[in-house]
Structure 1
Amino acid sequence: MSQQKATLRANGFTFKQFFVAHDRCAMKVGTDGVLLGAWAPVAGVKRVLDIGCGSGLIALMLAQRTGQSVKVDGVELDAEAASQAQENCAASPWAARLSIYQQDISQWASQCQWRYSLIVSNPPYFAAGSACASPERAAARYTDTLDHPTLLSCAESLIDEDGFFCVVLPADVGNRFVEMACERGWFLRYRTDIADNETRPPNRVMLALSPKSGEQFYDSMVIRGPDQLYSEAHCSLTRDFYLFR
């Protein structure tokens, strides 16, 4: 089956080296996941974990960015999303080192015997409020299924002492997340504030936390320039993934 036919049939997104079907996932391929997958620091990583992996997008991106000895695991609560992530990973060039597990992350963390040098998550961030179209979408969006203290606790039990825990969040939620994490003993090492364009304030932030203190790097990025074309910074970050970049 050609990549074009796969795109039409599976309702997904075609990247340069892989295809992500997401028709059975509550949360579709989106800007936040792509940015985090392209941004998370991978130098020297040995094993990677994507918490709440959804369609497997970020796990696939990190498999593309790392060497053949690096194992990439994804944990996803929703059975349909986990099944689709397994199919996406099996169809990718890195199937042999990608593993998707359908389980609650708290249970996974209590049983897991590995430690990870990189943990990533595009986590829920809305407090429970207005109804979603489906329970699956509510689980992906609202923190009542995975609140941030629980997420941090799981990452604490799974992270290697030299590892990084990376998330993407709305800017205001991200600020509170940093405060909470630092109170628990994490150190903020990397931060990138992201704005849609130069006339708007940052509306999302990518954070890299570590159990160990060290040099800190802060920067910012706009997604589109004054001409509404993608900025050079955005293109540089995502060039290895998006078609026609």
Structure 2
Amino acid sequence: MMSEFKFKKFTINQDNCAMKIGTDGILLGSWTRLDHHPFSILDIGAGTGVLSLMMAQRSQAGMIDAIEIDDNAYEQCVDNFEQAPWSDRLFCYHASLLEFADEIEDTYDLIICNPPFYSEDYKSDNKQRDLARFQDAMPFEHLVACVSKLLSEKGVFSVIIPFKEEAGFVDLALKHKLFQNRTLHVKGNTNSDIKRSLMEFSFTKKPLVTETLIIETSRHRYTQEYINLTNDFYLNM
């Protein structure tokens, strides 16, 4: 696994992060809607800081905050922010989501999150990776409750989760008056099952727009739709 990941306009160091750059994060950072011109953005569970950096590249947001609980990931995120062309707009807090939500009185026009997924009982021998990866480090209930507190009245919440968790997540969001506005179902190839759900929520009820994205036609042969979506970031697309 390479310790440095080069994008078109910034570079991510990830040698001290348990969770490396992956397709999920790139998809979410590329798909998230910015046409409401957010001034303030929050990246929950920032890891390397890749989502914050993608938002900085794509938007004119004046304040992009990130929160990261893991010591090593936090330090790496701060370093990646300092090296970025948009360092003056980026700040990372070393805190848990619950701590942050309790202390911060500001609200955000966009909240973006690529949360830990795995709710299975399996644990590995790498505690740092487990913390980054497993849902019990940031239960969906905590995530949705904190988002509903931190999101501005006309703000947008953008998240990626396993498809099998979608219905339960939508129900949780509704309990906090967050409505599902857009959904992108992601399939690895034409014949595979839906693997991921990218979802956008807001406090405004709108007709739900649902689309499907297929990543590859065959191994390492990407669909034009995937290339078009991620083209601003990947060097070799």
TM above 0.5, one fold?
A: yes
Query: Which stretch has the larger CA shift, 223-232 or 139-148?
Result: 223-232
Query: In 2, distance between residues paired with 1:133 and 1:167?
Result: 28
Q: 2:148, 2:176 within 8 Å by CA — same for their partners in 1? A: no
Query: Which stretch has the larger CA shift, 92-101 or 136-145?
Result: 136-145
Are 1:195 and 2:190 matched, yes or no? no
Are 1:57 and 2:50 matched, yes or no? yes
Give the match for residue 221 of structure 1: 213
Are 1:25 and 2:17 matched, yes or no? yes
Q: Note the 1:33-182 alignment, pairs <5 A.
A: 33-43=25-35, 44-67=37-60, 69-127=61-119, 129-182=121-174
Are 1:16 and 2:12 matched, yes or no? no
Query: Which stretch has the larger CA shift, 123-132 or 69-78?
Result: 123-132
User: How many residues of Structure 1 are paired with residues of Structure 2 in the alignment?
Assistant: 236
Unmatched segments (≥5 aa) in structure 1:
1-6
Q: Give TM-score scaled by structure 2 length.
A: 0.95
Structure 1 runs (4+) deviating above 6 angstroms are none
Q: Give TM-score scaled by structure 1 length.
A: 0.92
Query: In 1, distance between residues paired with 2:222 and 2:230?
Result: 10
Secondary structure class of the residue paired with 2:164 = helix
- CA positional deviation for 1:173: 1.3
How far does the alpha carbon of each residue in 1:203-230 deviate from its partner, in whole angstroms, 9 at most, with x for none? 1110001112123211110001257511
How far does the alpha carbon of each residue in 1:20-70 deviate from its partner, in whole angstroms, 9 at most, with x for none? 111111100000001001111112111100000000011100110001x52
Query: In 1, distance between residues paired with 2:46 and 2:230?
Result: 19
Query: In 2, distance between residues paired with 1:50 and 1:229?
Result: 31
Q: 2:53, 2:81 within 8 Å by CA — same for their partners in 1? A: yes
Q: 1:128, 1:144 within 8 Å by CA — same for their partners in 2? A: no
| RMSD (Å) for aligned C-alpha atoms | 1.6
Query: In 1, distance between residues paired with 2:219 and 2:112?
Result: 32
Query: In 2, distance between residues paired with 1:39 and 1:194?
Result: 12
- CA positional deviation for 1:122: 0.6
Give the match for residue 4 of structure 1: none
Residues 77, 128 of structure 1: alpha-carbon distance in 2 compared, 3 angstrom cutoff: farther
Q: 1:15, 1:241 within 8 Å by CA — same for their partners in 2? A: yes
Query: In 2, distance between residues paired with 1:241 and 1:85?
Result: 18
- CA positional deviation for 1:113: 2.2
Same amino acid, percent of matched pairs:
31
Unmatched segments (≥5 aa) in structure 2:
none
Amino acid across the alignment from 1:37:
G
Query: Which stretch has the larger CA shift, 191-200 or 224-233?
Result: 224-233
Residues 26, 226 of structure 1: alpha-carbon distance in 2 compared, 3 angstrom cutoff: closer
Secondary structure class of the residue paired with 1:225 = strand
